């Protein structure tokens, strides 16, 4: 008999708060760190020597965070239980020379990040967020969370073909947002504006990583409020659930594994960075944890051999208007519980043994789960799962929550699925 669920609809309320407060990967990491601190975790610097103490610890590097909890008396060869996720989402990002304009309009030069649904960014009130790097090397999070920019769509009167041929957007010419009027476009205007807004001196910011976001807050939707619409569910929904699960299992008691949260950046463009899943960050943290507890390379090998990772990312719910695009026998539904993703060509890392691990966690949590398999005529995307498995030799299982409108500026999920996922992740970390 499974234990009662520890997360309920209040978890979904909190997810909506987390989404609204995390318009960039850097904000998502900062908010995750704040929640970990409240749960008793402490930040450790990569440049410091690590000790053998037990308890919760975490490392922050840019838009990535790795957190882990060492139970009292854990042996150096104790395996890990990892939940992998990512902090980045497809969007429009500011170019190095951001100030542009034409015909009396002041604009911001942006570049396409990842694979966004471009039309979802049109005619939407947009804010601007990210980080500024200052002359002394420090960084400052910035968030203009009010209507500041807009990508205006061309009126149908000037594009009659759009009704019959569909919308066609040139990524360079048609997606540059406007943010004011004026013929005198001066280099440095946007950054000077951000410096003023954040109490910085002019010229203090020498580097920036900035992106636009919809300022419309997350909201319950539907007759019975059984749906949630909001930004960046891919994949902050998983980051939020994993953080809650890690905090829940770190309250003491015996654990057979060392629970880990690994939230990476740059999944949407291939994961190849020092903060991405294809970089050395996770492996370095896990190895240092083993060695800090007096372990040897043999202990490291034993720990990795017994480790399992759940790669948690959103997946596709069956779309009522496009059901033929899905596999005819696999139709995941929202509020039907988490999905187990399977692809025999290793676009997902799940195999039969991994399925058994996830099934056991779901049974302990008393939570149903579903399967996602792509239509054979439509190859699926991929996740950090295969990367984690190949790079570290760790058994990895791909899971997630089924949503609609993936990669849109606003996505749609079931209101029950976030807390169902959190319950399964907790059961997984508890072993």
pLDDT tens, position by position, 32-68: 999 999 999 999 999 999 999 999 999 999 999 999 9
State how beta strands 370-372 and 178-181 pair: unpaired
Is this structure's pTM higher than 0.85?
yes
Query: What's the Cα-to-Cα distance from 48 to each of 2, 36, 51, 286, rounded to whole Å?
Result: 42, 20, 9, 15
Is residue 3 scored above 60 in pLDDT?
A: no
pLDDT of residue 1: 31
pLDDT of residue 2: 42
Tell the CATH topology of 9-89+231-430: Aminopeptidase (3.40.630)
Residue pair 373/365 in contact by the 8 Å Cβ criterion: no
Question: Is 114 exposed, middle or buried, given 0-12, 13-18 or 19+ CB atoms closer than 10 A?
Answer: middle
Per domain, the residue ranges of the chain are 9-89+231-430, 91-214
Q: Which residue has the tokens 């960075």?
A: 273
Is residue 24 scored above 90 in pLDDT?
A: yes
β-pair partners for 136 = none
Query: What's the Cα-to-Cα distance from 368 to each of 133, 239, 240, 257, 329, rounded to whole Å?
Result: 45, 21, 20, 24, 18
pLDDT of residue 52: 93
Please work out, in degrees rounded to the nearest 5, the angle formed at the alpha carbon of residue 58 by the alpha carbons of 54 and 60.
160
pLDDT of residue 149: 98
Say which residues have a Cβ less than 8 Å from residue 348's Cβ, sequence separation at least 6.
311, 341, 342, 380, 382, 383, 385, 386, 398
pLDDT tens, position by position, 115-144: 999 999 999 999 999 999 999 999 999 999
Would you place residue 201 in the very low, low, confident or very high pLDDT band (cuts 50, 70, 90)? very high
**What is the radius of gyration, based on Cα positions, of the chain?**
22
Query: What's the Cα-to-Cα distance from 210 to each of 87, 217, 224, 383, rounded to whole Å?
Result: 15, 20, 37, 24
Residue pair 122/171 in contact by the 8 Å Cβ criterion: no
Question: Is 292 exposed, middle or buried, given 0-12, 13-18 or 19+ CB atoms closer than 10 A?
Answer: middle
* Strand ranges (E), 242-380: 258-264, 308-312, 315-316, 339-341, 370-372
The interaxial angle of helices 233-249 and 9-20, nearest 10 deg, is 120
* Weakest-pLDDT range from 78-87, 202-211, 252-261, 395-404: 252-261
Residue pair 427/362 in contact by the 8 Å Cβ criterion: yes
Query: What's the Cα-to-Cα distance from 216 to each of 23, 106, 401, rounded to whole Å?
Result: 11, 23, 22
Q: Calculate the CA dihedral of residues 318, 319, 320, 326 and round it to 10 degrees.
A: -60
Residue from 331, 270, 327, 306 nearest 394 by CA? 306
Query: What's the Cα-to-Cα distance from 288 to each of 333, 338, 392, rounded to whole Å?
Result: 41, 32, 14
pLDDT of residue 5: 62
Tell the CATH topology of 91-214: Aminopeptidase i, Domain 2 (2.30.250)
Please work out, in degrees rounded to the nearest 5, the angle formed at the alpha carbon of residue 291 by the alpha carbons of 286 and 294.
140
* Weakest-pLDDT range from 89-93, 251-255, 383-387, 392-396: 251-255
pLDDT tens, position by position, 271-327: 999 999 999 999 999 999 999 999 999 999 999 999 999 999 999 999 999 999 999
pLDDT tens, position by position, 206-247: 999 999 999 999 999 999 999 999 999 999 999 999 999 999
pLDDT of residue 47: 97
Residue from 207, 200, 253, 240 nearest 85 by CA? 240
pLDDT tens, position by position, 64-95: 999 999 999 999 999 999 999 999 999 999 99
Would you place residue 6 in the very low, low, confident or very high pLDDT band (cuts 50, 70, 90)? confident
Would you place residue 253 in the very low, low, confident or very high pLDDT band (cuts 50, 70, 90)? confident
Q: In the predicted model, what is the mean pLDDT of the chain?
A: 96
Extract the tokens encoding 289: 């944890």
């Amino acid at each position: 008999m499974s234990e009662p669920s520890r997360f309920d609809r209040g978890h979904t309320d909190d997810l909506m708060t987390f989404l609204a407060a995390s318009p960039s990967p850097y904000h998502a990491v900062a908010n995750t760190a704040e929640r970990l601190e409240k749960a008793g975790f402490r930040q450790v610097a990569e440049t410091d020597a690590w000790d053998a103490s037990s308890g919760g610890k975490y490392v922050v590097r840019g838009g990535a965070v790795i957190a882990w909890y060492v139970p009292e008396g854990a042996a150096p060869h104790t395996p890990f239980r990892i939940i992998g996720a990512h902090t980045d989402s497809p969007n429009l990002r500011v170019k190095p020379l951001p100030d542009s304009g034409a015909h009396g309009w002041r604009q911001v030069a942006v570049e396409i990040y990842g694979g966004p649904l471009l039309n979802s960014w049109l005619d939407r009130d947009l804010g601007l967020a990210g980080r500024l790097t200052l002359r002394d090397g420090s960084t400052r999070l910035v968030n203009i969370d009010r209507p500041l920019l807009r990508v205006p769509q061309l009126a149908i009167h000037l594009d009659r073909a759009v009704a019959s041929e569909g919308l066609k957007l040139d990524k360079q010419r048609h997606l540059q947002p406007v943010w004011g009027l004026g013929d005198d476009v001066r280099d440095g205007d946007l950054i000077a504006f951000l410096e003023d807004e954040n109490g910085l001196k002019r010229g203090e910011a020498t580097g920036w990583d900035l992106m636009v976001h919809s300022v419309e807050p997350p909201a319950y939707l539907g007759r019975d409020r059984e749906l949630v619409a909001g930004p960046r569910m891919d994949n902050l929904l998983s980051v939020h659930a994993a953080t809650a699960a890690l905090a829940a299992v770190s309250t003491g008691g015996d654990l057979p594994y060392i629970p880990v949260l690994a939230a990476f950046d740059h999944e949407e463009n291939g994961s190849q960075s020092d903060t991405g899943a294809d970089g050395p960050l996770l492996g370095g943290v896990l190895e240092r944890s083993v060695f800090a507890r007096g372990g040897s390379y043999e202990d490291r090998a034993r720990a990795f051999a017994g480790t399992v990772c759940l790669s948690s990312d959103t997946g596709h719910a069956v779309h009522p208007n496009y059901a033929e695009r899905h596999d005819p026998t696999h139709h995941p539904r929202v509020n039907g519980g988490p999905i187990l993703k399977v692809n025999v060509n290793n676009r997902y890392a799940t195999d039969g043994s991994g399925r058994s691990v996830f099934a056991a966690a779901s049974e302990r949590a008393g939570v149903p789960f579903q399967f996602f398999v792509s239509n054979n005529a439509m190859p699926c995307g991929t996740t950090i799962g295969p990367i984690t498995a190949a790079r570290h030799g760790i058994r990895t299982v791909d899971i997630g929550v089924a949503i609609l409108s993936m990669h849109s500026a606003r996505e749609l999920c079931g209101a029950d699925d976030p807390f169902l996922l959190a319950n399964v992740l907790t059961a997984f970390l508890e072993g």
